[in-house]
Structure 1
């Protein structure tokens, strides 16, 4: 008797029978070398033929099986007997008169469409491959290879795809990570023999990369559905920690995580590959939509749960995707803010730079809370403002108004976010310290403003260049009408400068509306009537003189001035279901015989009573009437103004002072002004007999608590924003032009000094291409326009990088200049200088402000610069997908224009 042989596998027997029947062999039985045992039912149906499998340990058993064979039935005899042991009498009834062996590779050839040859490297892998290809073959067989040779890759890829229930094209690291999220698809792989599992893992590692090893190990250990969470942690536990304590904690975590990989000790290469694949899955899934975001968050939470189980929560701070990591980064940012807040000893500017770096880490976190990130950005802006020199007190009330419009209103906008705070107490404490420092400076400014307000109100002098609320119709609206343009006047009750900065950004962000300013200079503001309440200031605005009254008085005054105009209050704007605006409003806007349509929008003022004006972002989404009216404004110029601003409730910081009346932010002048108050009297004080006491400190109130207040002398209440918008020619109205970037320098990212444009001697060949200086036009204000700020034109600088003059003097640059619409060399030099000084990047706002380009023209200017410098399709200048940040490829600039580095 021969040596013991293996048990025949049912699939192998079936495949052998299929091949036997295909031979048209008339024999009634086939004998196969195998142990005489059969684990399943004896009857098979193969190609429509009934086949009985009979274990035959002895010749007598074989003879009995042949004797008992039913009519039309074929037999498979499983035996360890040799031909001689069976004898010629039995062999005569068998296929080929011999006991045939089950050659697994013959079956493999058959299963792959009868290929004629096998890849030797496939055969050398061992018998496990042939057995697996036989045992796990799909009912329709394996896909035939493209040629006559069955290659190792084709066979193993087909086997892996079948065992993992994955298309062959998805057998890469991303496909395996996605596969790990489906528990039911992993079950088959967990039941295969160890040799098959190890062989498939080795193959996947060779094709999909080192991430395959830990993924498949986690599946075999019963933790496959946690492959992504484990991968997210792997990047933290296998990182190169510079601190001993961190490395010790990571080593402990690695040991505790090994059982989840079946005892496999991951190499750093495997761990980092798994980490990268897991993070890539998170990014793809988050970007796929709400369902994907929920699924990604589930994986992130599971990773944090595992971290807690293995005691490595403290390491999550370095993660760029785990939610806890965002919290750690935000706390690190708060520590940097705390150190950067100026104290009596004053913090170093380097501390602000560290806070800026910490903010970048917060912004880079993929699980960042957008609201909390925006608050952190505001904190850095306030730090930069605190580290600017606080100049001397304004000399005139107009100077104080302009400081509120151009500087302090932006501070107020950021300060509101800081005041709203953060739910994490350590972060909240840092914001509290920052808010106190900002408040200290702002209080000085508020007192300076109130002092000037009281002095000039008492003087009853002519306003000169200062624009008063009662003069807006005469000095802003009427000149536009005189030039033949119709006007849409939007009066946003209660809108201060801070809210106006948000609304202006929202309205102009799409490019459909262009903001105009006097002579193309910085924004100006309007001084409200006193006290700064609606019945005084709005009625004075619409009447053209200091007066008081409600809606009836406003309608009467407006109709007297423009009999064919239309003034709309809240009820007149509202429409029936399904219509954003009343049809009569739409008709008035479209009517050329209606020179002025004015609309009072109460959204912000209403929020002071029963909303949350401090944390609301005032834009077209929150003040919907503005968006609706602008969409229907036809070709009208839009003047957007308010009647007064507001201050928000300070909660426990509020100071409630006694008053004989019930007004929140003003009282009659019967008693002397106390701390935080100022007495104001004069012709512009419409209540209290011309004499009132107004608080200038924002914390002070007299009446009942609300969400916000107005009536006082703080510039946040008394300075009215003014925005003039057009949809077409920004030079259509004399005295107005496209304005520069409105935000102050500290609002944008800090950059080193910008280099100067080349002097005449630096580039004599380019002088003829310079654009002529545009003449100043007559102001619509009937007053001397305020000078433009330094940011409105390129400032002189002592040196220029050698790269820029070399570019301007290069022959290729001269060839690419468009002679019909050239981009001035001074502008090219300024823009490139800004980018070079900023590490080859800058935002559009920064480029516009520092290069002296009007805000609405910067996008077109950058497009022209890109075309100028793009040689043979290679982009020297690129813009981020967010449309805000511009990048310079310095190396490509040098190469394309053949410049000396």
Structure 2
């Protein structure tokens, strides 16, 4: 009597036949005990052998199959008959003269190399595993395990890996998401028998974790290729920070998303892991090659499309990754900027409104898909808001004070408003920037008028300059003392460099780490006053002549040679190089020649941009000023002086005003009639053209000649004030009377406004940078006197750690409870022990640094720390490293640096624990 047997799968038959043929049995046929059903191809080709599969429900069918066998074929007889029913006569023609059972686990062992047996856990998983492992086995078989036991984990990992086209060791969240991008493999999974698919899914949840649930649910629902976009969208609907959107709105949105997962409701834990894995995939892809980055951007766009399909686009503001989230954050920032602007009465904006704009900026900065240039413009906008928050007092009382305001404060305003003037692509943000620019422009216009009035009075009265440095004084009062001190110098005249451009160039030079900026007595930056009108033919010739004069290149060269006969002056044509050379050999030879004390060079990049480019959108640096980086590279043993002959203003676009003039000059005209609004009549010995009488505009938007990208010649501080920058290669005492420069940026440039204001100003009183009437600022340094540039002898150079650079303890004393916490640390035994052994930093400087960090909730920019501690900016990296060693008890990271390389982070609770302090 036949026995009820299961149907055999084609792969199982193939495996049994492969094993049979490997035995090199001469029999013509093999009997496999299975249900006599066969729907696959009747003939199998295994190696060079044709094997015909014949279902045999009766002995007669089996005998007929043997009788009809072709000479070149072997037979597989599928039957559920017993050996007795088949009979000895028939069995005499089959392998081993008996029927062979088709044990699925034997076939599994065979697929894994034949020398292994499955453990009981694998067998209990179910027959589906054996069938799947047999049917899906590679042609060469599965990789055999290390021992003779086939474990459940080993077998199922290889099975799932084959189905998902993944390495068995990559069955994690990242691997699953990578699989979800491959539509063909998803289709293969969807076509598996239900038991197989469910079993593999259960394994994936085991090994990959809860993230497998949403991924597989999306695949089953037919949305598998949207798994990554769905994960990104889940980041909005399962926000990490509570309260980012109304709970009802979130709940409705999740319900709309459920059909994408086939009705599966994700738990918070599953959604969180799903979000993290999807974002991690995007981050990796964005760091990949072009094709992978293209896939990442496609996923981001698809996530936004899905948000639109379920009507949750407005919630994308919570996304730190989706571009639409960045757009919405930028709009929220723009709205905050508009709210923070001063009112029509020019009352400074409220601090809390500026603080709100700062918070919106932080959200913009945190977005991973942020457009870096737009973020930088947003930073500039917030800086301008902080500048507008400073109450204005009376204008500068002297020309020196007006110049100082431009170089130390308003030049930074000009730097920021260039970006804001360039605007933003989003019309909502652009309108806010336009309003901000108008508010800044109104105040800057008042400053420009005050500057021009001081310049007018000084020029017409022929007033002596005193401590004020004029363009014709640069060689005699700055360069010659350097040479007299035995140092060689490289003077680079960057034609057209304004205060704003000088800020950018100095920053790029400082970031290189190769150069140390020097300032008089280590104080604030200083500047040079141009002659009038502020055109090249007047000021460049005056600078190289050492006296007020007018002339061309030939006159410059002649006058320079008379003063410095052993030195070299290079113009544009002298700096052109042959192919393959960054610096002309003759120029390099002159710079390297010890017998040439001074090499001067004129670089016209900025001035040329006023004609042919757009200086308002160029960030000036050692990379964008032609030849600057290369000249500096071969001048490491020279003191470098960067100066200009005049600054410039940029074209104001639709705001520009064209006035009639008797001349074709852009920013000055002969005094043939009375000055109009925005103009002043200048007379005197410092007016080198127009027979000593010219009319100059102080309003930046005025011009007389043809339209260009920028202009110079007028009386605005952006044109008249020339930055003076001095650098030496890692030597802050290269120039007598000069020392390492402090942080050059004003407080409003670096430091966010915090509430309450009283605590902030008490904890970290800022340094005076220009306008004497600003509240809550340190007293102005002593006024510059006649001897500022009368450099002392080398013996008067300050020591590397000058006591004059240390801030008074009283000026750093913060308000409670900040000072109490820092005082307790300084008095602690742990600090005393570490200070004696490892800390070369004076206690008052440690206090200044820690008070600043504690007041900022554990965060402060390195530039701010340098300012608070009275440390030259180039010393701050070493100071930070010393403070970190001092605070890191037992190696714990109490003090660290942000990835941006510019922000220090103090772990206040860890500091309290490590030094045994009481929380304040």
TM-score, normalised with respect to structure 1: 0.92
Q: Write the mapping of 1:171-250 to structure 2, written as runs, cut at 5 A.
A: 171-239=171-239
1:864 is displaced (CA, Å) by 1.3
**Counterparts of 1:730 and 1:783, CA distance in 2:** 15
Tell me whether 1:782 sits opposite 2:790 in the alignment: yes
CA offset digits 1:407-457 (Å, max 9, x no partner): 000000001111110111110110011111111111111111111111111
Residue of structure 2 in register with 1:808 after alignment = 826
Residue of structure 2 in register with 1:382 after alignment = 384
**Counterparts of 1:744 and 1:715, CA distance in 2:** 18
What SS does structure 2 have at the residue aligned with 1:137? coil
The farther-off stretch of 108-117 and 683-692 is 108-117
Tell me whether 1:834 sits opposite 2:852 in the alignment: yes
**Counterparts of 1:290 and 1:746, CA distance in 2:** 40
Q: 1:482 aligns with which of 484, 496, 500?
A: 484
1:50 is displaced (CA, Å) by 5.3
Q: 1:796 aligns with which of 802, 807, 812?
A: 812
Residue of structure 2 in register with 1:675 after alignment = 677
Residue of structure 1 in register with 2:800 after alignment = none
Residue of structure 2 in register with 1:459 after alignment = 461
Q: What are structure 2's unaligned runs of at least 5 residues?
A: 755-759, 766-783, 798-802
Q: Write the mapping of 1:255-266 to structure 2, written as runs, cut at 5 A.
A: 255-266=255-266
The farther-off stretch of 222-231 and 487-496 is 222-231
**Counterparts of 1:778 and 1:88, CA distance in 2:** 128
1:113 is displaced (CA, Å) by 3.5
Residue of structure 1 in register with 2:769 after alignment = none
1:816 is displaced (CA, Å) by 2.8
Contact 1:52 1:74 (8 Å CA) reproduced: yes
Contact 1:237 1:253 (8 Å CA) reproduced: yes
**Counterparts of 2:806 and 2:338, CA distance in 1:** 30
The farther-off stretch of 667-676 and 47-56 is 47-56
**Counterparts of 2:578 and 2:265, CA distance in 1:** 69
1:140 is displaced (CA, Å) by 2.2
Question: 1:830–1:291: structure 2 CA closer, same or farther, 3 Å change rule?
Answer: farther
CA offset digits 1:700-727 (Å, max 9, x no partner): 1122211111111111111010000000
Residue of structure 1 in register with 2:667 after alignment = 665
Residue of structure 2 in register with 1:882 after alignment = 900
**Counterparts of 1:489 and 1:324, CA distance in 2:** 49
What SS does structure 2 have at the residue aligned with 1:664? coil
What SS does structure 2 have at the residue aligned with 1:672? coil
CA offset digits 1:122-162 (Å, max 9, x no partner): 33332211111111111222223334432221111010111
Q: Write the mapping of 1:746-757 to structure 2, written as runs, cut at 5 A.
A: 746-750=748-752, 752-753=760-761, 755=763
CA offset digits 1:283-307 (Å, max 9, x no partner): 1121235554333222212222333
Contact 2:764 2:852 (8 Å CA) reproduced: no
Residue of structure 1 in register with 2:771 after alignment = none
Question: 1:562–1:821: structure 2 CA closer, same or farther, 3 Å change rule?
Answer: farther
Question: 1:284–1:599: structure 2 CA closer, same or farther, 3 Å change rule?
Answer: same
The farther-off stretch of 419-428 and 288-297 is 288-297
**Counterparts of 1:778 and 1:532, CA distance in 2:** 25
1:49 is displaced (CA, Å) by 6.0
Tell me whether 1:397 sits opposite 2:399 in the alignment: yes
What SS does structure 2 have at the residue aligned with 1:279? helix
**Counterparts of 2:204 and 2:837, CA distance in 1:** 60
**Counterparts of 2:718 and 2:314, CA distance in 1:** 44
What SS does structure 2 have at the residue aligned with 1:53? strand
Tell me whether 1:16 sits opposite 2:10 in the alignment: no
**Counterparts of 2:599 and 2:788, CA distance in 1:** 20
1:615 is displaced (CA, Å) by 1.1
Residue of structure 2 in register with 1:712 after alignment = 714
The farther-off stretch of 561-570 and 735-744 is 561-570
Residue of structure 2 in register with 1:42 after alignment = 42
What SS does structure 2 have at the residue aligned with 1:817? helix
Contact 2:448 2:699 (8 Å CA) reproduced: yes
The farther-off stretch of 649-658 and 412-421 is 649-658
**Counterparts of 1:879 and 1:817, CA distance in 2:** 22
Residue of structure 2 in register with 1:281 after alignment = 281
Contact 1:754 1:834 (8 Å CA) reproduced: no
Residue of structure 2 in register with 1:770 after alignment = none
Residue of structure 2 in register with 1:846 after alignment = 864
Contact 1:496 1:719 (8 Å CA) reproduced: yes
Contact 2:466 2:786 (8 Å CA) reproduced: no
**Counterparts of 1:90 and 1:284, CA distance in 2:** 65
1:822 is displaced (CA, Å) by 1.7
Q: Write the mapping of 1:624-639 to structure 2, written as runs, cut at 5 A.
A: 624-639=626-641
Residue of structure 2 in register with 1:441 after alignment = 443
**Counterparts of 2:120 and 2:388, CA distance in 1:** 75
Q: Write the mapping of 1:371-770 to structure 2, written as runs, cut at 5 A.
A: 371-750=373-752, 752-753=760-761, 755=763
**Counterparts of 1:242 and 1:796, CA distance in 2:** 39
The farther-off stretch of 717-726 and 391-400 is 391-400
1:280 is displaced (CA, Å) by 0.6
**Counterparts of 1:887 and 1:719, CA distance in 2:** 38
Residue of structure 2 in register with 1:320 after alignment = 320
1:782 is displaced (CA, Å) by 1.8
Question: 1:106–1:789: structure 2 CA closer, same or farther, 3 Å change rule?
Answer: same
CA offset digits 1:51-79 (Å, max 9, x no partner): 43211122210122233445686532112
Question: 1:123–1:607: structure 2 CA closer, same or farther, 3 Å change rule?
Answer: same
**Counterparts of 2:416 and 2:327, CA distance in 1:** 21
What SS does structure 2 have at the residue aligned with 1:842? strand
Contact 1:541 1:643 (8 Å CA) reproduced: yes
**Counterparts of 2:365 and 2:26, CA distance in 1:** 78
Q: Write the mapping of 1:862-877 to structure 2, written as runs, cut at 5 A.
A: 862-877=880-895
Contact 2:218 2:224 (8 Å CA) reproduced: yes
1:633 is displaced (CA, Å) by 1.1
CA offset digits 1:731-781 (Å, max 9, x no partner): 132110001000000000326346489xxxxxxxxxxxxxxxxxx999660
What SS does structure 1 have at the residue aligned with 2:640? strand
- Paired residue total: 881
1:517 is displaced (CA, Å) by 0.2
Residue of structure 1 in register with 2:118 after alignment = 118
Residue of structure 1 in register with 2:299 after alignment = 299
Question: 1:591–1:22: structure 2 CA closer, same or farther, 3 Å change rule?
Answer: closer
Question: 1:235–1:822: structure 2 CA closer, same or farther, 3 Å change rule?
Answer: closer
Question: 1:638–1:247: structure 2 CA closer, same or farther, 3 Å change rule?
Answer: same
**Counterparts of 1:352 and 1:147, CA distance in 2:** 69
Contact 1:735 1:778 (8 Å CA) reproduced: no
Contact 2:467 2:787 (8 Å CA) reproduced: no
CA offset digits 1:173-209 (Å, max 9, x no partner): 1122123223344443233222212211111111112
1:544 is displaced (CA, Å) by 1.2
The farther-off stretch of 178-187 and 645-654 is 178-187
Tell me whether 1:143 sits opposite 2:143 in the alignment: yes
TM-score, normalised with respect to structure 2: 0.90
Contact 1:609 1:708 (8 Å CA) reproduced: yes
1:524 is displaced (CA, Å) by 0.8
1:309 is displaced (CA, Å) by 3.6
What SS does structure 2 have at the residue aligned with 1:490? strand
**Counterparts of 1:446 and 1:346, CA distance in 2:** 19
